[in-house]
Amino acid sequence: MKLFKFDKVYAHCDIPCGIYDPSPSRIAAETIVKMVTLIDGIKDEYRNSPSDVNVLNSITRYILVKEEHARICKNEILILWTDYFKEEDLKIVPDLHSKVWDTVKLISYNKQNVDLEKAKELLTKVNEIGDIFTKVKEERLKNG
Amino acid sequence: MIFFKIFKVEGTSMHPTIYNRNKILVSYIPYLFKNPKINDIIVAKHPYKNIYIVKRITKIEKGGYFIEGDYILSSDSKEFNMIPKKLILAKLLFIF
């Protein structure tokens, strides 16, 4: 039981402040799955004609987009972790830290590898963090 | 009438003077008798949102009070311009 409850006074630094959303991380994870699927689809063609500039161009673009969205995904997850979630949210989600840790490690794996199963696993984990975000937000609204 | 109040600070825009989750004791008395001064740390009503904010007064002009966070990233008068005196409620006394 809390003996004292203090009103909050804000010292915001973000513009726009206090607006957080898990959607960018989900879109980035979906993009990673899509890029891995495209790389998988073109890899035989690349193996057979590695000097074909068009094949080389396509595969380079897919890798570039995968890399960029992995960076976005990691950044967005870390923003939620450091700025949105608070210590008291651990009461609602006790394993929050390990879930975030596993997710960002999986993002790194997806940067280093082309592995459709792991890309899909990443999307599942990112969606899970999105669900946690919604749950925490609902709890905060309930508690005022 | 409230003369003193304790607030819990949320946010980092007043680093390194006030840290996120610090508590502050403020007084409503000083500005009943005197105008706020440059460098005062104040609690004010946000001009557009229904929240209280803590900032430092950095400029005083005819149009009102320019308030800023101590940290380089701050949502303050640079964003919402000067605020009138009527929005300035209390003066910071103590951080803990």
Comparing CA positions, the residue from A103, A38, A31 lying closest to residue A66 is: A31
Do A42 and A62 meet the contact criterion of CB atoms below 8 Å apart?
yes
Contact check, Cβ <8 Å, B11/A6: no
Over residues A72-80, the mean pLDDT reads 90
The rounded distance, in Å, linking the Cα atoms of B58 and B69 is: 9
pLDDT at B48: 81
Instruction: List the 9-68 stretch of A: residues with Cβ below 8 A of B.
Output: 9-17
pLDDT at A4: 64
> Tens of pLDDT along A87-144?
889 999 999 999 999 999 999 999 999 999 999 999 999 999 999 999 998 888 887 6
pLDDT at B57: 95
Listed in sequence order, the residues at least 6 apart from A8 whose beta carbon sits closer than 8 Å to its beta carbon are B7, B8, B9, B10, B51, B52
Tell me if chain A has a CB within 8 Å of the CB of B54.
yes
Mean pLDDT by 10 residues, chain B (96 residues): 86 84 93 94 90 94 90 77 93 94
Q: Does A18 have pLDDT greater than 70?
A: no
Do B44 and B68 meet the contact criterion of CB atoms below 8 Å apart?
no
- Contacts with B71 from chain A: Cβ below 8 Å: 13
pLDDT at A15: 45
CA distance A14 to chain B (A): 6
Is the pTM above the cut of 0.90? no
Which residue among A6, A9, A14 sits closest to B53, beta carbon to beta carbon? A9
Number of Cβ atoms within 10 Å of the Cβ of A122: 28
Name the helix (H) or strand (E) containing A35.
helix A23-48
Write down the number of H helices and E strands in chain A: 4, 1
Tell me if chain B has a CB within 8 Å of the CB of A6.
yes
Q: Between B77 and A18, whose confidence is greater? A: B77
> Tens of pLDDT along A25-62?
999 999 999 999 999 999 889 889 888 999 999 999 99
- Distance (Å) of CA A11 to CA A24, B31, B57, B81: 25, 21, 14, 16
> Tens of pLDDT along B44-65?
999 888 889 999 999 999 889 9
Tell me if chain B has a CB within 8 Å of the CB of A8.
yes
Q: A56-70, A71-85, A86-100: which range is least confident on average?
A: A71-85
Query: Encoding tokens for residue B72?
Result: 């380089």
Query: Encoding tokens for residue A104?
Result: 């960002």
pLDDT at A1: 45
CA distance B7 to chain A (A): 5
What structural domains does chain B harbor?
Answer: 4-95 (2.10.109.10)
Comparing CA positions, the residue from B49, B55, B61, B50 lying closest to residue B88 is: B55
CATH number corresponding to A23-142: 1.20.120.400
